Amino acid sequence: MTDADAGPGLDRVLTVPNALSILRLVFLGLFVWLLVTTDDRVAAALLLGAAGVTDFFDGYIARRFHQVSRLGAVLDPTVDRVVLVTSILSITVYGAVPIWLTAVVLGREVLVSVAVLVLAAMGARRIEVLWVGKASTFGLMVCFPLFLGGDGPGLWARVLTDLTWVVAVPALGASLYSAAAYVPEARYALAAGRTGAGAAGRDGPSRDVPSRDVPSRDGPGEGSSGSVDAGAVP
């Protein structure tokens, strides 16, 4: 996204996408409250699903109506991480998913987050988001509420759980694959950061490395753009 596409208000705070990110946190709080105090797993699952829908719409609105902001570029992926970790831990404590699945998913998140911090500290350049990473994260975010909804007696609950596993297994595999696929991307980003723009200009850039100055949105959420800072890798 260019400066013209982003518009002049990159420092805006009061935007619809930012409001949706805050609403997602409100939904998360209500989700935990429903799950802990009322034991209404179906309502909690629906509310968590609604939180996921807001993640799609804030990205769409930011692109369609030019409401990209610097705050949103940080707020959106941060809220996504909070929603992901909190909802997964809550559903696991509730007993709707096996502990090993939670350990693998959160282990991958911790690994990527630590790698992002290390790369940023070492001055790495931006990393291109892989489609498989975005798709697998979305798939897992869909699966956990479905596991919660299917955690009960009756034939429909059993069928829902079985169908969810059909989605969860390939989504989990794609998530692990994307983590491995980011390794060469991270190596390039680190080399590009150390070399600097001057060397890239002399040798001819091998990839399109956009500027750090303008945040962008492309796809669900502000942190899911085609090219992003290392901190937004899904």
Q: How confident is the model at residue 101 (pLDDT cuts 50, 70, 90)?
A: very high
Q: Which residues constitute the domain of residue 137?
A: 3-196+208-225
Domain presence at residue 202: no
Task: Establish if 117 belongs to a structural domain.
Answer: yes
Rounded CA-CA distance 96/91 in Å is 6
Residue 201 in domain: no
Q: What's the confidence (pLDDT) of residue 107?
A: 92
Residue 25 Cα distances to 40, 126, 135, 155, 172, angstroms: 19, 27, 22, 33, 25
- Predicted confidence band of residue 221 (pLDDT cuts 50, 70, 90): low
Q: Compare 91 and 10 and report the one with higher pLDDT.
A: 91
Give the per-residue pLDDT at 209. 42
Whether the per-residue pLDDT at 148 is higher than 90: the answer is yes
pLDDT tens, 106-133? 998 888 888 888 888 888 887 766 788 8
Q: Is residue 233 part of a domain?
A: no
Separation CA 24–CA 17 (nearest Å)? 11
Q: What is the mean pLDDT of residues 158-174?
A: 94
Look at the chain and report how many structural domains it folds into.
Answer: 1
How large is the average pLDDT for residues 207-231?
Answer: 44
The helix or strand, by DSSP H or E, that contains position 217, with its residue range, turns out to be: none
CB atoms within 10 A of CB 13: 12
In a domain, 182, yes or no: yes
pLDDT at 211 over 50: no
Give pLDDT tens digits for 167-206. Answer: 999 999 999 998 898 888 888 888 888 886 444 444 544 4
Residue-wise pLDDT for 36-46, tens only, equals: 898 889 899 99
- Whole-angstrom distance, CA of residue 95 vs CA of residue 124: 40
Domain assignment present for residue 139? The answer is yes
Between CA 81 and CA 142, with CA 31 as vertex, the angle to 5 degrees is 55
pLDDT in tens, 3-20: 444 445 788 888 999 999
Which range is most confident: 17-21, 139-143, 189-193, 211-215? 17-21
* Residue 68 maps to a domain: yes
pLDDT recorded at residue 5: 46
CATH of the domain at 99: 1.20.120
Q: Tell me whether residue 174 is in a domain.
A: yes
